[in-house]
Amino acid sequence: MLFRGLKNGGSSDTYDIGIVATGFESRCTFALKELGRRRFDELYVIGFEERRVEESRIKADAFFSLLDPTEMLICSSSDASFAAKILGERLSAHPHPRIFVDYSSMPRAWYGAILNYLRSTQLCSNAILDLSYTPGLHEGEKTPVEVKGITTIPGFEGVSSGSARTATVFSLGFDKWLPYAALERVQPNEIFCVVAEPGGVPEYTGRALTINKHLFEELGIVPFAIDIRDVEQYFTFLTELIALKLHQTCDVALVGMGPKPHTLGMCLAAIRFQEAAVVQVERRATSVEDIKPIGERITTQVMFESS
């Protein structure tokens, strides 16, 4: 199928398929608590292989068990084979599926795989995908994180254009030094930075600007500000930037270090433009922080149709 477009906001209808993640972040249960089990014909819960003994994880697992899901699967954070397993089996039963995915606690490889599956499959003629994100409260001072590696998300590797130039768009958050690691790896000729404004919490933007001040000064740039809730606007910004300024002159690296809705926007833009790669700076966190839900959920509806 082809990716046809997106819009802000989901639907109040029921869903044929729901896919959610269970993990140590308390916010992972928020969407289902709000929507309820009955909205889903089939519900799949994907649990991280890692960190299964954290107290908040045990509570989340227990919550989802009580909902009597269709299936609970365990996967490592880099393994997204569940997407093919679930969608491959179920799409033939639902020719015009309505799919709900709560990606609040999902790694990019997981929701990336769902997007990739839908754009690669011919099993149905159209699909509507509602992607839900619950903003979270980061309470503690961000502890320094080590870089584990810098990679592209499967299916979003971008292509070589033979261009000698590379442009990078950063979506920035609270990791002060990680953008430097990405810069070292990508070594772009042009750099653009985006900060969420407003963010998920009132103090988000100020904090992000302060933490990244050093980067802005060193690069001599002023960041763009885009509403965390407006994935449509973020997508439009990226596609216009690529189409009008970068297309056919640069390879493009989209580096998502800010809120997940912005990273979702990057994935969708990379579907639209083959030369754009979505880059992830993999982190080895020195401590684990339970992210509690705060504010309203952000839902983005993505439409796929057969070509």
**Binding region for other proteins (CB under 8 A):** 78-79, 83-84, 88, 109, 113, 116-117, 120-122, 144-155, 157-162, 164, 166, 175-178, 180-181, 184-189, 214, 220, 251, 253, 274-275, 277, 279-280, 286
| Tokens describing residue 9 | 């906001």
Q: In angstroms, give the least distance from the CB of 67 to other proteins.
A: 27
Q: Which is nearer to other proteins, 226 or 242 (CB)?
A: 242
Q: In angstroms, give the least distance from the CB of 79 to other proteins.
A: 7
Q: In angstroms, give the least distance from the CB of 156 to other proteins.
A: 9
Q: Which is nearer to other proteins, 129 or 153 (CB)?
A: 153
Q: In angstroms, give the least distance from the CB of 187 to other proteins.
A: 4
Longest dimension (CA), the chain: 55
Q: Which is nearer to other proteins, 283 or 292 (CB)?
A: 283
- CA gap 77, 72 in Å, rounded: 15
Q: In angstroms, give the least distance from the CB of 152 to other proteins.
A: 5
- CA gap 291, 58 in Å, rounded: 15
Q: How far, CA to CA in Å, does 252 sit from each of 23, 68, 81, 175, 271? A: 32, 43, 27, 22, 13
Q: Which is nearer to other proteins, 155 or 173 (CB)?
A: 155
Q: In angstroms, give the least distance from the CB of 177 to other proteins.
A: 4
Q: Which is nearer to other proteins, 73 or 84 (CB)?
A: 84
Q: Which is nearer to other proteins, 60 or 191 (CB)?
A: 191
Task: Give the 3-state DSSP-derived string for the chain, with helices as H, strands as E and coil as C.
Answer: CEEEEEEECCCCCCEEEEEEEECCCHHHHHHHHHHCHHHEEEEEEEEECCCCCCHHHHHHHHHHHHCCCCEEEEECCCCCHHHHHHHHHHHHHCCCCEEEEECCCCCHHHHHHHHHHHHHCCCCCEEEEEEEECCEECCCCCCCEEEEEEEECCCCCCCCCCCCCEEEEEEECCCCCHHHHHHHHHCCCEEEEEEECCCCCCCHHHHHHHHCHHHHHHHCCCCEEECCCCHHHHHHHHHHHHHHHHCCCCEEEEEECCCHHHHHHHHHHHHHCCCEEEEEEEEEECCCCCCEECCCCEEEEEEEECC
Q: Which is nearer to other proteins, 84 or 137 (CB)?
A: 84
Q: Which is nearer to other proteins, 149 or 206 (CB)?
A: 149
Q: Which is nearer to other proteins, 120 or 125 (CB)?
A: 120
Q: In angstroms, give the least distance from the CB of 20 to other proteins.
A: 20
Q: In angstroms, give the least distance from the CB of 42 to other proteins.
A: 19
> Backbone dihedral region of 220: left (phi > 0), alpha (psi from -120 to 50 degrees) or beta?
left
Q: In angstroms, give the least distance from the CB of 219 to other proteins.
A: 9
